[in-house]
Chain A
Amino acid sequence: MLGDRTGAEDAVQDGVAQAWRGVGQFRGDAAFGTWLHRIVVRACLHHLRDRRAPEVIEGLAEAERRFLDPDYTVDPAEVVARASDAGKLRQALETLPDVYRVAVLLHDVDGLTGAEVAETTGVPLGTAKARIRRGRIALLAELARKQTASETEQRTGRPC
């Protein structure tokens, strides 16, 4: 979610500490794990706010417009080749603006429902669903994108 191990450890530590301090506020409306998960995710979002500038979403809007174009399609083999490599899939996820990456991770990796993503991230259901949808479209476009020679070189090493 944060894209680096140290940031993730700090955020989870903050979340657990906040949960401990606020344990008296746990009312038992949801399972304890769900309550704790929500606090930790919000601590992660707080770290992202601290770390990154406001996102420009124009690129995502463009990806969504292109996705609806009847002439647009992708090569499934290209997508499968990159998505099946966990490292490349993580790199592609890293290209998404934070709120969209978080929505996709919570929904498609952690298996939360749209309503649970909304509740966990503190946004209305419609916003959560739009973020999941736009995040998926942008991720697909990134996985389908033809890599430049320098990107391939960076990842595989320069031939001697």
Chain B
Amino acid sequence: MLTLTCAEARSLIFDFLDGELDPATARAVEQHKNSCRNCPPLVTAILAMLAELRRLPGVLPREDWLARLIALPLDPHSPR
């Protein structure tokens, strides 16, 4: 069984959370996470941050934006 130090586990943590590790390495990261004092709060915080990023609402353009876009000279042959 592969045993990881904190630095090794942390260098793999984002690939682990993204599901990009092979099963044996993922198990080693999981095992380190279960036996370490400082890594679990870090992982909890990263998971919360990624969840909030996924929920981040988009920014809508102002009402007249589409009208301004349509008014642009969009002739494919016109110079930029």
Contact = CB atoms under 8 A, between A and B. Distances in A.
Interface of A: 5, 8-9, 12-13, 16-17, 20-21, 23-24, 67-76, 79-80, 83-84, 86, 89-90, 104, 108-109, 111, 132-133, 136, 139-140, 143-144
A12 B61 contact: yes
- The main secondary structure of chain A at its interface with chain B is helix
Given A5-B59, A9-B61, A13-B68, A76 B54 contact: no
A23 B75 CA distance: 11
Interface of B: 5-7, 10-11, 14, 38-39, 41-42, 44-46, 48-50, 52-54, 56-57, 59, 61-62, 65, 68-69, 72, 74, 76, 78, 80
B14 A139 contact: no
Contacts of A104: 53
Nearest to A20: B74
Contact of A111 (B14, B42, B54, B62): B54
A80 B7 CA distance: 24
B78 to A, nearest CB: 8
A111 B58 CA distance: 13
Nearest to A92: B49
Nearest to B14: A133
A88 B50 CA distance: 14
A71 B38 contact: yes
Contact of B59 (A8, A17, A20, A80): A8
A46 B13 CA distance: 32
A21 B74 CA distance: 7
B61 to A, nearest CB: 5
A139 to B, nearest CB: 7
Contacts of B57: 86
Contacts of B38: 70-73
B76 A5 contact: no
Which 8 interchain pairs have the tightest Cβ spacing?
Answer: A70-B6, A83-B52, A79-B45, A73-B38, A108-B53, A76-B44, A76-B45, A68-B7
